[in-house]
Amino acid sequence: MEVRDKIYVGGAWVSSAGNGTLEVIDSNNEEVIGTIPEGTAADVDKAVEAAAEAFGEWSTTSVDERAKMLSRISEGLAARTDEIAQTISKEVGMPMTLSGAIQVGLAVGAFAEIAQQITEFTWDEEVGNSLIVREPVGVVGAITPWNYPLYQIALKVAPALAAGCTVVLKPSEVAPLNAFALADVIDEVGLPPGVFNMVTGVGPVVGEAIAAHPKVDMVSFTGSTRAGKRVMELAAESVKKVALELGGKSANVILEDADLDAAVPSGIFACYLNSGQTCSALTRMIVPRSRLAEVEEKAAAAAAGFPPGNAFEPGVMLGPLVSATQRDRVRGYIQKGIDEGAKLVVGGPEVPEGLEKGYFVQPTVFSEVTTDMTIAQEEIFGPVLSIIPYDTEEEAIEIANDSVYGLAGGVWSADTAHAEQVARKMRTGQVDINGGAFNPGAPFGGYKQSGIGRERGAFGFEEYLEVKSLQR
C-alpha cells in the first residue's frame, strides 16, 4: 500500500492544511492500494502564491535551460516506466500490455518533444514596424482526469513549463498515484521552488479553488463537459484564459465502398481501447443499411476478441473500468439501450462470468440504433458501440454531426480522396481516414461542447503564450 501524506508546494513536500485522506482503489480487485491527502482551498492558495512568486524568475529563464529541465523530467519518467505503468493499470484498468507504451510512453514523449520544440520555436517576429513577441501567460492551473492520467498531466504541465509558466496541478483523485511519481521526478530534477506545485483533492474543493483563484492566469481542464462548464463559469469571474478538453461521442463513418474486414475490427478497437474510457473513442459506427447485417456479424466477431479480464493477465486487451461508479453508470446505459429498443448484438448489462470482483463490464455492441436514443447521444465512457444505419451519404454526414460534441471521428472508403471530402464535412476536431495512425504532434481538441483550444504540438504549446506587439 502506497501512503502519500504530503502535497507538493514551493519545491517541498508539505502537509495539507486539512486532515482528510482519500483512498485509491485497485480497479481489478477493489482493494485499497493507497491513500492521498484531501487538499483544501487553503492549500490551493498557498500553492498559487508559491507559483506566482516563482513566475518572475522562471519566465525569464533561458529557453535552453527550460529545455534541459524538461528533457531531464522525460528521462526520469522513462526510468520509472514499469513502476508507473503498473500503478496506472491498477488505478485505471488499462492492460499492462498497453500501459507502458500508451499511459507512460506518451507522457515521456510529451516532455521530450516540447523540450526540442521550444529550441526551434519562433518567439519574436517582425510585422511592419512592430516586433511581435510571445510571452508566458503566467500561473497555470491544470486540472486533469483519470482515464489517461499521466499523459493528460504531461499535455498541460510540459507545454506550460516550456512556455515559462508556473503550474498548480490538481490530478484526478481517482487515479492520483502516478502524479506523485511525476512530482518525485520533478523534485529530483530540481526545478526552482514554486515552478511546479501539486494539490490533491476533489474537484468541488480543490478544482474550484484553482479555477476561481484571482492569481491564476489560465486554467486548463480536461474532463466532463458538465465540470468544464463549471470551470468556465468560475474562471469568468476574473476573465482568465481557459482551455477545455471535454466529452465526445465520435462518429466512425463507413462508406458504401469501404473494406469491412479492415474497417469494422479497427472501429471496435477504437471504441474499446482503455475499456472505452477514451474521450475520442469512436463510439458511433455509421454504416450503409445495405451492409448492416454484414457489419453486425463482423462487429460481433471482433468484440469476441476482447474478453474482459484482470489488467495483469497476459494477453488481456480489455481491463476493468476505473471505479464502481463508472461500472454502474455504463451498465445503466447498456440497460437503457435495451429499454429504448436498440438491437443487442453482443454483451449486456450482466456481470461478466467469473469477474464478480473488480469493475468489469461486458464488451457490448448495439445495432439498429437511432439518433434519438440515449446511447446515440450521451457519452457512455465504456466498451459500448452503437451501430447506426444510413441510406444516403448525406444522411451519414448528418448523423455524424447530430451531436452536441465534436471531438474526433473516422471515415472509411476505398477512395481516400472521397473519404477526405467527407471528413471535411464533419464538425469535429480530428478525423482518422481509413484508420490513420495516431499522431502525437497533431493538434487535439474539439468543436462545440467538446471544448475550447487545442493540446499537443505547436497548437497546444501556443495556448500557454500571450502575444505582445512593440511598435517602433
Q: Which residues are catalytic?
A: 245, 279
For cell 458504401, name the residue.
Answer: 256
Residue 253 grid coordinates: 463513418
C-beta of residue 196 within 8 angstroms of C-beta of residue 166 = yes
Q: What spatial distance separates the first Cα and last Cα of the chain, rounded to whole Å?
A: 62
Q: Select from 70, 447, 437, 68 the least CA-distant residue to 248.
A: 447
Q: Which residues of 334-359 are buried (b: 16+ CB within 10 A; e: fewer)?
A: bebbeeeebeebbbebebbeebeebb
* Phi and psi torsions of 23, nearest 5°: -90, 145
C-beta of residue 177 within 8 angstroms of C-beta of residue 34 = yes
What is the 3-state secondary structure of 128-140? CCEEEEEEECCEE
Q: Select from 18, 75, 257, 66 the least CA-distant residue to 166.
A: 66
| Neighbouring C-alpha atoms within 13 Å toward the C-beta of 71 | 11
What is the 3-state secondary structure of 57-84? HHHCCCHHHHHHHHHHHHHHHHHCHHHH
With a CB cutoff of 8 Å and minimum separation 6, the contacts of 102 are 94, 148, 151, 274
Quote the CA–CA distance of 119 and 220 in Å, as a whole number.
24
Residue 140 identity (one-letter amino acid): V
* Phi and psi torsions of 153, nearest 5°: -65, -45
- Quote the strand ranges of 329-446, DSSP E: 343-346, 364-367, 384-390, 405-406, 409-412, 432-433
360: helix, coil or strand? Answer: coil
Q: Which residues of 390-424 are buried (b: 16+ CB within 10 A; e: fewer)?
A: beebeebbebbbbbebbbbbbbbbeeeeebeebbe
Q: Select from 162, 123, 168, 121 the least CA-distant residue to 143.
A: 168
The helix or strand, by DSSP H or E, that contains position 244, with its residue range, turns out to be strand 241-245
For cell 501539486, name the residue.
Answer: 198
